[in-house]
Amino acid sequence: MAHPSGKLLEGVFAVSKPPSISSAQVLRDLQHKFADSKTFAPLLEQTNRAREEQERHQPKRRKRTSDDQIFKMGHGGTLDPLATGVLIVGIGRGSKSLPDFLGCKKTYETVVLFGKSTDTYDIMGKVVAEAPTDNITRDMVEEKLARFQGKMKQIPPIYSAIKVEGMKLYEYARSGKELPRQLESRDTEISECTLLDYYAPGEHDFRWPVAQATEEERAVAQKLIAGAESTKQLLGQEAKPARQRTPTSERYKDFRESNNLPPEKKAAMHTHDLGTLEAEPANAPAARIRLTVSSGFYVRSFAYDLGTACGSYGTMAALVRSKQGGFTTVDPAPEGFVPALTPEDLEAGEDIWGPKVAKVLGKWVETHPPPSTGNRIDDRDRPEKDYRFKRSERGSGWKGGGQKRTWNDRRHYGSARQPNRRNSSSPSP
């Protein structure tokens, strides 16, 4: 068994997210794994003390809505269920550093499969459109990729967790509801866009999903996609006024109800079936591409846009986030990068993952020491004169003190030579 060092460990580290589960579920699994560990026993003790102290001083404060919130923990950027790779995790004080990683550049390796489009822009969805690929060649893909490099406007995919008027985009898509307003574009930048491999038909093993959208589903998807395309043409023009926002009580109803579910049911909600793929590889070209991009970039939208640029359709068939910040899944890790914990490390037990995460967090604590409370001024240490009323150097007003003024206190309302002024709300003398 791993032996506790007695050192309080907190900070930022990274795990390699496996496919099929959400980023939120990764955090839930880590919460329970760490709560039962010796590595994080000091942090758990401190967390429980702080929570008890808070409940004593603020008994009416809202209690936690979920038993999954053991430690203060968050991640530095969501990965789609299909995607794998670097998921940065902040625990304890490290969670405050996560915005720095949300805004940093990220490196992905993705595979774009040409010839079809799905409602999700990846192979987890249902096929909604098809187009020929006879004209697509390696030279064409390289030529089109060069146009993507640099700053650009990007419309998020219709199947994403971005909220419009309090409702997630994929909820509009699944329900067939019309979007209340045009999708907002995002300023993004691609600093690297490199074709790593080009596969002609018969040279790869990537496959299309078996699921085919119904005519009704195709119509809904085409309508939403058309809306996104029209938004691209309207960029820079005045947007239509947004509809009235959904009441907060309704917007967060599903969130509150999901928090009250048992852990196993909650995990089932965040474990996604990657879908059934066709038995034979797709008879279509594919390209493996490395992208280094800015914050807010959607690789699925890039796959769709690349397919359109090549005169066909494109669908994301694979995605790995290989680098983010100073963390990587590349083995061996390049100089200056810290390897992410793998699913195999976490499954092997604390004897394996404990020393690895302790090494990373130990360095973080050294470079981010907790704030010292030794020099804080306690009210009891303040000079007595700080608490006395003091005559202002300008005029005859008073300042300091914090005592409540009364109607009969003439010091605050003029001198003895002038009677206090009264208004309609003044009490009778």
What residues act catalytically?
80
Q: Contact 98/74 with Cβ under 8 angstroms? A: yes
d(C-alpha 32, C-alpha 349), whole Å: 13
Pairing of strands 327-328, 338-339: parallel
Contacts of 306 (CB under 8 A, 6+ apart): 112, 141, 144, 145, 148, 287, 314
CA 271 to chain centre: 18
The pair phi, psi for residue 403, each rounded to 5°, is -75, 150
Angle (nearest 5°) at CA 211 between 209 and 215: 130
Contacts of 149 (CB under 8 A, 6+ apart): 190, 191, 192, 193
Contacts of 177 (CB under 8 A, 6+ apart): 167, 171
Q: Examine residue 419 and say whether the peptide bond preceding it is cis (omega within 30 degrees of 0).
A: no
Angle (nearest 5°) at CA 279 between 278 and 284: 60
Is 137 in a helix, a strand, or coil? coil
CA torsion, ordered 167, 171, 172, 173, to nearest 10 deg: 150
d(C-alpha 146, C-alpha 292), whole Å: 13
**Cα Rg for the chain, rounded, in angstroms?**
29
CA torsion, ordered 316, 320, 325, 328, to nearest 10 deg: -170
d(C-alpha 401, C-alpha 228), whole Å: 60
Neighbours of 207 (CB within 10 A): 16
